[in-house]
């Protein structure tokens, strides 16, 4: 197994780009793989905003809110992982500050949208927030990749399996690109999104929500649950 000192991130949407920037900020190296011809994912189409509590924008409009209230709304909306919800909601204010301070993304407008008990959905005054945030984070990774060897983005790269050692620990990723299979070794971060666009009879959608198979989706055609399947095949 060739040694590697860089993280492998599968998926180039907002989650993948946020992970890539976090690795780079902490002195690491990044290889980001995306199966599409360009990165962005569903996040680049998001038009409502990003939810957060304890932000300057909330304070400016006098919004009364708390992480516990945000968490309760999130769980009420269907999330069933309280420990993950706690992290998501508890870190949300700091995350919005990170977007502002590191990437210059200003989100001064705050609204109360469906499912929320307080105004906590943040957006800017220009382009749709999903596009603004995702492209800003993507631009930072691209800038690093152009100037150093610490970051590399590979598109049209479809991950096919997680590589594991004899003990079952994940040590890398195999992926297909231009008709060839390649392998990369290193710590792996799966950031591949959901499966809302997979309507096949054996799809994850058919397995978990067959009642939704007849409905259209706003998800891009890339949302086929690849990362979920990779994890399942590796024993997750």
Q: Convert the pLDDT of each residue in 146-185 to its tens digit.
A: 999 999 999 999 999 999 999 999 999 999 999 999 999 9
Claim: this prediction has a pTM higher than 0.85: yes
Domain at 217, CATH number: 3.50.50.60
Structure letter (DSSP) for residue 73: H
Alpha-carbon span 200 to 207, nearest angstrom: 10
Domain membership of residue 1 (yes or no) is no
Task: Say whether 212 sits in a helix, a strand or coil.
Answer: helix
Alpha-carbon span 147 to 227, nearest angstrom: 30
Alpha-carbon span 31 to 197, nearest angstrom: 26
Instruction: Tell which of 81, 100, 127 closes a domain.
Output: 127
Same structural domain, 73 and 120: yes
Number of domains in the chain: 2
Mean pLDDT value across residues 19-30 = 96
Domain membership of residue 92 (yes or no) is yes
Mean pLDDT value across residues 192-210 = 92
Alpha-carbon span 18 to 15, nearest angstrom: 5
Closest CA to 162 of 6, 24, 10: 10
Instruction: Tell which of 127, 143, 170 closes a domain.
Output: 127
Alpha-carbon span 228 to 54, nearest angstrom: 32
Closest CA to 29 of 154, 157, 152: 152
Domain interval for residue 76: 48-127
Confidence of residue 21 (pLDDT cuts 50, 70, 90): very high
Mean pLDDT value across residues 87-96 = 96
Same structural domain, 76 and 110: yes
Same structural domain, 174 and 195: yes
- 59: exposed, middle or buried (C-beta count within 10 Å: 0-12, 13-18, 19+)? exposed
Domain membership of residue 60 (yes or no) is yes
Instruction: Tell which of 127, 151, 185 closes a domain.
Output: 127
Residue 134 Cα to chain centre, angstroms:
9
Task: Give the tens place of pLDDT for each residue, 110-151.
Answer: 999 999 999 999 999 988 999 999 999 999 999 999 999 999
Q: Is the dihedral of CA 78, 67, 90, 60 positive or negative?
A: positive
Alpha-carbon span 174 to 60, nearest angstrom: 48
Confidence of residue 78 (pLDDT cuts 50, 70, 90): confident
Token duo for residue 161: 């399996």
Confidence of residue 3 (pLDDT cuts 50, 70, 90): low
Same structural domain, 143 and 123: no
């Amino acid at each position: 197994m060739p040694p590697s000192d860089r993280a492998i991130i599968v998926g180039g949407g907002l989650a993948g780009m946020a992970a890539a920037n976090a690795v780079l900020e902490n002195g690491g190296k990044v290889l980001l793989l995306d199966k599409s011809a360009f990165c962005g994912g569903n996040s680049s189409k998001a038009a409502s905003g990003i939810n957060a509590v304890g932000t300057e924008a909330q304070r400016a409009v006098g919004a009364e809110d708390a992480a516990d209230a945000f968490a309760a709304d999130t769980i009420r909306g269907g999330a069933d992982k309280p420990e993950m919800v706690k992290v998501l909601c508890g870190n949300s204010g700091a995350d919005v500050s990170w977007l502002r301070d590191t990437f210059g993304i200003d989100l001064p407008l705050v609204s109360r949208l469906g499912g929320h008990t307080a105004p906590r959905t943040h957006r800017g005054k220009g382009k749709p927030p999903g596009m603004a945030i995702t492209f800003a984070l993507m631009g930072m990774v691209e800038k690093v990749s152009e100037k150093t060897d610490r970051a590399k983005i590979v598109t049209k790269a479809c991950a096919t399996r997680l590589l594991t050692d004899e003990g079952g620990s994940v040590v890398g990723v195999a992926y297909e690109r231009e008709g060839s299979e390649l392998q990369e070794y290193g710590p792996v971060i799966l950031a591949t999104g959901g499966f809302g666009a997979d309507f096949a009879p054996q799809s994850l959608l058919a397995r978990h929500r067959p009642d939704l198979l007849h409905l259209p989706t706003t998800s891009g055609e890339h949302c086929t649950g690849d990362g979920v399947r990779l994890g399942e095949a590796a024993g997750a």
